[in-house]
Structure 1
Amino acid sequence: MARGSKRKFIIKEESDPIIEEEPDLISEEDSDEKNSDLKPLLDSQRKKGRKVINNDELRLLNPIPANEARERWPLRYQDQPRSQSSTETLYDSAEEIVQAKYHYANAMVDSCLYKLGDTAYVQAEEGKPHYIARIVELFQTIDKQAYFKAQWFYRAEDTVINEENAALIDKRRVFLSDMHDDNPLNCIVSKVEIAQIDLVVKERTIPQSGFYCDMKYSLPYLTFKNIFHGGCFKGSNNNSSKPQKLLLDLYSGCGAMSIGICMGASLAGVDLVTVRKEGAEDFLCLIKKWQKLCKKFSLLDDQDDSGETSDEEIDDGQGCTVSEQEDGEDDEGSEEVYEVEKIFDICFGDPNKRKERGLYFKVHWKGYDQTYETWEPIRNLSNCKEKLKDFVRKGHKSNILPLPGSVYFICGGPPCQGVSGYNRYRNEKAPLDDEKNKQLMVFMDTIEHLQPRYILMENVVDILKFAKGFLGRYAIGRLVSMNYQTRMGMMAAGSYGVPQCRVRVFLWGAHPSEKIPQYPFPTHEVVSRGLNPKEFEEINVVHGKKDYRLEKALNLGDAISDLPQVGNDEKDKEREYGTVACTGFQKYIRLPRKDVIKLTVDSRHKSSGMLYDHQSLRLNADDYERVGYIPKKKGANFRDLPGVLVNEDNRAELDPTQERKRVKSGKPLVPDYAIKFVKGKSTKPFGRLWMDEIVNTVVTRAEPHNQIIIHPSQDRVLTIRENARLQGFPDCYKLFGTIKERYIQVGNAVAFPVSIALGYAFGLACQGKSQDDEPLMTLPFKFPQCLARSSDDDN
């Protein structure tokens, strides 16, 4: 990642003095003097191919009155004694300010006049393109050297987007950074024009040649922001206000991300209407076809000049179109005529499981009951144009599918399984060529099609680790290429009120006229465990106020100590608690549905006050026997089993002096995979948790073979409900599916306190109440107390 402080200028080396004008650059009596002692140095610079500016070509002009200069740049005039030259100070002590003798309004370099605010090329090392900077100060140092202060413009490859994703961005587009530093005046090469473009202006005029700038880029939280809207140039806040704000949750799973966002937004006074979709790729195809159908039947205002959309544009994926057949009669020999009574649903995919993907409609047939309803490809409805038109008109009126501009907020965590360390065949050279990473492209394509006002993407930290963070950089690059403002942060779930670390990456996107949401400061004392890539250290969401008091970190016992005992083969999905809450966390997490704020989930059950999903994955007989041997003590794992030794370099190995102990089936009590896992150095296989610990992360697989997941005092793995508690799910949140499916739903979810906190930040931003110049904000509540409805809340 580029940083302005690491720029290299070919005129600066410790062994070579800066070659510039003679001592006092503004003194008339000195202006014509020539210092013959400089000649050898000038010659040496020329031999090295260095840029050398003659005295007549380098001059500071129009001094700024001393009082004004001291008022505008007070730190330059501290009159402090200096033990180093200004050059040494500039490069060796970044915190020390170069002291000035005079400031100027203009400078002459190579017979070209520059003024404050001009943009210029600045010379870089040989073979590199010139840097681009705005001149924000012109001054003479107390050592009588001519300097200018630069505010740097970055090309896409200089930002987090990096060279590999720079092709996503127009080459003419540059980004104004918040990096400033001081440089010798003779670094300047020539003037360069940069057009300033307002992203919000409907008719944007981008120059055919030269550069343009419409965003500011800053390193903290890798923020790209509209340069005119709340940026460094004065602009207007043009926040949109819609009567209904639709939140589309892609890859929604059990909906924890969108539900938490809705709950948090409601705490900020914003109501969201939520739609959840899992099959994002089919959904993208569907909404594109739906837009074309609406155009075909003249339901959209933005009709093409060519008129009605052609039949070919609504191809169902199998080479068939919506069109009237020339011969409307049935083929000769047809035994029965089926008449469409009503079309009432639409999908894209293969609903009939015939390996024929395309656009399908759900049909109710005249004279038949609903058991005969079928999914029909669009080609089979070519004689039913009026029925199809009626369905599309009614669907458009009731908004059964989103059209571009109708979705206010899109959130989702596109799976990127191709970055997982468990994947032996990861494609580091071309990550997007891996089918397991393609959903990231689908997610961005959906955003490009629907054009929402806000975006929030969640993902694992590996997208910033794998292939030097290629996928994370790609995600930012795609949003910026679509003119979205962006901000990236890394948040630990435990920092917001649950007993697990669980670090995840969150990427905000905001329309140019909106404020970018902030990241909430942590509320609890939890330290992430070394998962943060050094290249992305700027995005760790941490509390920088030393005097701010954080709540004590929760531990496993705080979350689950009240739950009743269950066995390895618990079959009941619902049961009585039979216990009382022991901690504040347990009190709030047990709230009945009616008392939980804005729990907008499609519930297929009535709130009964029962405990749901308190079942564990049933261990096979061998593993159950092994778990029974694990001592009930803190830190216990397979190394505590009979016949295991730990050598001097902390590697587990079998004791050669003992006969290998076996379970009832005849298999080894200590399996080979436990000994070999991470070359014998891991303590995770058959690890037992302890009540005073913080769990690393809730996982999707509940097998104890390579992770610490065994209950502290019971011979089983943690139940679905215990995992859900670690994620902050209210107990009234009932899950559906097989036991394995419910573990996956919980393990893949965004932790509730994190999604609630982010939802609150969004609620402030969309109302224009947030300070988008400040990337972090303080929450007015803590989890889980925020779950409780106040008496005047609507359910």
Structure 2
Amino acid sequence: MNVVDLFCGIGGVAHGLHQAEGFNTLFANDVDADMCESFKLNMPEVSVICDSIANVQFKQLIGKKKVDIVLGGPPCQAYSTSGKRLMEDPRAMLYQQYYRALVETQPQMFVYENVRGLLSMANGKLFDEVQRLFASLGYFVEAKVLNAADFGVPQERERVIVVGVRDGIKFEYPKPTHISAQKTNTDLFDGSLPSHITLGEAIGDLPFIAAGETGYEYSSAPQNDYQKLMRENAPKKLMNHSAASHGEALMRVIRNVPEGGIKKDIPEEFRPKSGFPNSYGRLWWNRPSMTITRNLGTPSSARCIHPKCDRALTTREGARLQSFPDDYVFYGSRSKMNLQIGNAVPPLLAKAIANQIKKALS
């Protein structure tokens, strides 16, 4: 099945398709140079066009090839409920370029991924416009919110998945493979699904390092199936498991954040005066991570403090929580790599969707 991968980032979707098998990516496109380099390092067989989507000539690129699926999620910052949500942001209008891609490639099916905030942007009018525009091309369009944690990703990450299909094609959204631990304690739970993978289960074999330190050796053999999956083709030495240094003032704050705590839980004498309510948040060891963002190394920005170490997450820990395997290579500075990871589609979520695409088009 021939795929066009738009807003491809570092290849979260492409890696998920590769795991599902049966897909051929004709080309991928993104405007960020570092992300394109990361994509190329991991999938050198795919042609990557590093340019604004507005400059991509789809008809020329595909020639006489048939396109089965167009995939992609425009940058989400304009829609995110944690951002300013400005309609004037040009990124909020990139769905129009996605529409142009559909017009020029005429795929059997498309998948459009974005943050849940897309549903409520401009009081829902933007999402209505997106659906109307895509449906005008003859697609049956539906949307559903999926939580990555329900599909084996150790992270609570809700995303809107908009799917459009031509007449005669039936697509069914993937059914969860995991369930919240809270639900396993209810009478409605039949015991057929395992609990969500926790942060501890995801990164427990990575060495506990202090702020400013780097770890190169695993602390143990794989302890569970998730760790085995992440380490299938792992290099002998860990990559990108380097903790940022924090100043003494920030270290005093971090040391006083309890597990699962946020700014309000810090004793008043150490509590920062500025910051959002969820700033300086520490994660839980026995729960999935909260949504990983580009600021996974910045304690003052989001809930990203390691549950047991007094520091922010490392790049490799962030990658694990997004379900990128340990042999996945990231290009650029630490902040650029963290941005790439935070903006990515978790490969395991992409794989679950890809398996349903195969069923729909078979």
TM over 0.5: yes
- Distance between the aligned counterparts of 1:425 and 1:585, measured in 2? 35
Partner SS state of residue 57, structure 2:
helix
RMSD, aligned CA: 2.7
- Distance between the aligned counterparts of 1:553 and 1:483, measured in 2? 38
Q: CA deviation at 1:637?
A: 4.0
Q: CA deviation at 1:462?
A: 0.5
- Give the equivalent residue in structure 2 for 1:455: 110
1:171-570 aligned within 5 A? 245-264=1-20, 266=21, 270-279=22-31, 282-287=52-57, 291=60, 401-403=61-63, 406-424=66-84, 426-427=86-87, 434-513=89-168, 515-526=169-180, 547=190, 549-570=192-213
- Distance between the aligned counterparts of 1:625 and 1:274, measured in 2? 51
Partner SS state of residue 101, structure 2:
helix
> What letter corresponds to residue 316 of structure 2 in structure 1?
R
> What letter corresponds to residue 144 of structure 2 in structure 1?
G
Determine if contact 1:247/1:258 at 8 Å carries over to the other structure.
no
Q: CA deviation at 1:578?
A: 4.5
> What letter corresponds to residue 278 of structure 1 in structure 2?
D
The reply on whether 1:722 has 2:317 as its aligned counterpart is yes
Determine if contact 2:3/2:23 at 8 Å carries over to the other structure.
no
Q: Which has the higher contact order (CA 8 A, sep 6+)?
A: 2
Partner SS state of residue 558, structure 1:
helix
Q: CA deviation at 1:746?
A: 1.1
- Distance between the aligned counterparts of 1:719 and 1:730, measured in 2? 14
Partner SS state of residue 710, structure 1:
coil
Partner SS state of residue 286, structure 2:
coil
TM-score (norm 2): 0.84
- Give the equivalent residue in structure 1 for 2:223: 582
- Distance between the aligned counterparts of 2:249 and 2:195, measured in 1? 39
> Relative to structure 1, is the Cα distance of residues 286 and 549 closer, same or farther in structure 2, using a 3 angstrom cutoff?
closer
Determine if contact 2:140/2:166 at 8 Å carries over to the other structure.
yes
- Give the equivalent residue in structure 1 for 2:274: 673
Partner SS state of residue 107, structure 2:
coil
> Relative to structure 1, is the Cα distance of residues 424 and 712 closer, same or farther in structure 2, using a 3 angstrom cutoff?
closer
The reply on whether 1:630 has 2:250 as its aligned counterpart is no
CA displacement 1:554-602 (0-9 Å, x = unmatched): 2111111110122322467xx2325222222212221116xxxxxxxxx
> What letter corresponds to residue 194 of structure 2 in structure 1?
E
Q: Percent identity?
A: 28
- Distance between the aligned counterparts of 1:283 and 1:402, measured in 2? 15
> Relative to structure 1, is the Cα distance of residues 524 and 424 closer, same or farther in structure 2, using a 3 angstrom cutoff?
closer
- Distance between the aligned counterparts of 1:423 and 1:733, measured in 2? 29
CA displacement 1:469-524 (0-9 Å, x = unmatched): 223222221221011222211100111112221110111122335x2321111111
- Give the equivalent residue in structure 1 for 2:283: 689
Determine if contact 2:79/2:115 at 8 Å carries over to the other structure.
no
Q: CA deviation at 1:424?
A: 4.2
1:51-70 aligned within 5 A? none
- Give the equivalent residue in structure 2 for 1:105: none
> What letter corresponds to residue 320 of structure 2 in structure 1?
R
Structure 1: stretches of 5+ with no match in the other structure? 1-244, 292-400, 428-432, 529-544, 594-607, 645-660, 662-668, 768-795
Determine if contact 2:231/2:326 at 8 Å carries over to the other structure.
yes
Task: Choose from 328, 340, 346 the match for 1:751.
Answer: 346
CA displacement 1:676-723 (0-9 Å, x = unmatched): x3xxxx3x2322223112222111113112422111221111111111
Determine if contact 1:609/1:732 at 8 Å carries over to the other structure.
no
- Distance between the aligned counterparts of 1:635 and 1:436, measured in 2? 33
> What letter corresponds to residue 295 of structure 2 in structure 1?
R
TM-score (norm 1): 0.40
Determine if contact 1:592/1:609 at 8 Å carries over to the other structure.
no
Task: Choose from 713, 725, 731 the match for 2:326.
Answer: 731
The reply on whether 1:591 has 2:246 as its aligned counterpart is no
- Distance between the aligned counterparts of 2:332 and 2:197, measured in 1? 30
Q: CA deviation at 1:274?
A: 4.9
Determine if contact 2:5/2:25 at 8 Å carries over to the other structure.
no
Give the paired residue count: 339
- Distance between the aligned counterparts of 2:291 and 2:95, measured in 1? 23
- Of Structure 1 and Structure 2, which has the larger fraction of its residues in strand? 1
Aligned structure 1 segments of 4 or more residues deviating by more than 6 angstroms: none
Structure 2: stretches of 5+ with no match in the other structure? 32-49, 183-187
